[in-house]
Amino acid sequence: MTEKFKAVVINNENEKFSRDIKDLEIADLKDGNVLVKVDYSSLNYKDALILNNGGKIVRNFPFVPGIDFSGTVVESEDSKFKKNDNVILTGFRVGEAYFGGFSQFAKVDSNFLIKIPKDLDSKKSMMLGTAGFTALLCSFAVKAKEELLLGAKVKDVLVTGATGGVGSIAIMILSKMGYDVHAATGKKDKNEYLKNLGAKNILDRKEFEGESKLLEKGIWDGVVDTVGGSALTKIFAQTKPGGIVAACGNAGGIKINTNVMPFIIRGVKLWGIDSSGSSLKRREFVWNEAAKLVDFSKIQSFTKELSFNELFGTYPKLLNGEFFGRAIVNPNK
């Protein structure tokens, strides 16, 4: 096995931030008990923040970012994994506190890994990545209204931030589940794209701005909110009795100004989605369902494969809202 490999390394010396492609050695990987040859990672908004200036997320430098990856086990000190097992990692603060996936090799705790289901592969796993995994968790939270909580059947589901990675994949999944998906977006040129994913109706995100009554006409059986912020006030007021709002993002702000009426009069449930800390049992269930609910040919159509050099040119576009679709990172490209 090669002792040297390529990795993206960020550093912050004397308040001067840098990002470079460097040669590392296996001995530089200090974390965990399973060594993985990375096949793919993906570029997420959090990755872009970290690549930009650490994003007030990474505290120890020098550091290898990348919050998710897929690959092949090279060495394992845990009997749960053996050489040549194909594995996925998302979350667990990898790429934030532990060296991450923007590297040809990664060494992580075995409790952070799951085996790739037989219906997926390394590339498809990262075409979904953290965004797809989050979309799956949100979709199953909405589905819980009728299955886990034995409520009325879900029909109308709102997805905010619809053209983003989580929103786009959630539309596809929720449509496959048989729901009527209403996509809220500020990008009027993406209507056909959203309808192709399965959206029945396209809404202007401005419809959720402004003052809201304590309760409005109930419209939504479920909501996947990827944005957060003030729009949630109106969304709660418009959610039907027993409805579920799955919240997973904060690009629109971290504060919400709401009241208790939707929750105590209609029994609306706010379901927070923490994809990073999701249990291994839940991860295994969700990833095993992915192939049944996702059309990978559609995801491929809006996925770009990046080298490390291309990654450096792409992350600023993501931060500025200029990048559309999914980006997977091939460390061997």
Q: Tell whether the model's pLDDT for residue 2 goes beyond 70.
A: no
Other Cβ atoms closer than 10 A to 72:
16
Taking alpha carbons only, the member of 36, 90, 88, 34 closest to residue 67 is 90
pLDDT in tens, 207-219: 998 888 999 999 9
Letter string b/e over residues 133-157, b meaning 16 or more CB atoms within 10 A of that residue's CB: bbbbbbbbbbbbbbeeeebeebebb
Contact 235, 208 (CB under 8 A): yes
Q: Which amino acid is at 15?
A: E
pLDDT in the model for residue 251: 81
pLDDT in tens, 154-206: 999 999 999 999 999 999 999 999 999 999 999 889 999 999 999 999 999 99
Q: Tell whether the model's pLDDT for residue 7 goes beyond 90.
A: yes
Q: Enumerate the H helices of 43-164 as residue ranges.
A: 45-53, 122-143
Letter string b/e over residues 261-271, b meaning 16 or more CB atoms within 10 A of that residue's CB: ebeeebebbbb
pTM of the model: 0.94
Using only C-alpha atoms, the chain has a radius of gyration, in whole angstroms, of 20
pLDDT in tens, 117-129: 999 999 999 999 9
pLDDT in the model for residue 250: 87
pLDDT in the model for residue 188: 86
pLDDT in the model for residue 1: 59
Distance, CA of 62 to CA of 122 (rounded, Å): 27
Q: Among residues of the chain, what percentage have pLDDT more than 90?
A: 90
Q: Tell whether the model's pLDDT for residue 14 goes beyond 90.
A: no
Classify domain 4-116+302-329 at the CATH class level.
alpha beta
pLDDT in tens, 277-321: 899 999 999 999 999 999 999 999 999 999 999 999 999 999 998
Distance, CA of 119 to CA of 136 (rounded, Å): 16
Q: Classify 146 in phi/psi space as left (phi over 0), alpha (psi -120 to 50) or beta.
A: alpha
The secondary structure of residue 301, as a DSSP letter, is H
Residue with tokens 């590392």: 24
93-108 average pLDDT score: 98
241-247 average pLDDT score: 97
Q: Which helix (H) or strand (E) holds 261?
A: helix 261-264
pLDDT in the model for residue 106: 98
What are the DSSP E strand ranges found in 217-307? 220-225, 239-247, 269-272, 303-306
Considering the domain delimited by 131-272, tell me its CATH architecture. 3-Layer(aba) Sandwich (3.40)
Q: Where are the domains of the chain?
A: 4-116+302-329, 131-272
Q: Tell whether the model's pLDDT for residue 252 goes beyond 90.
A: no
pLDDT in the model for residue 324: 87
Q: How many residues does the chain have?
A: 333
Cα 165–chain centre separation:
7
Contact 159, 182 (CB under 8 A): yes
Residue with tokens 């993906």: 42
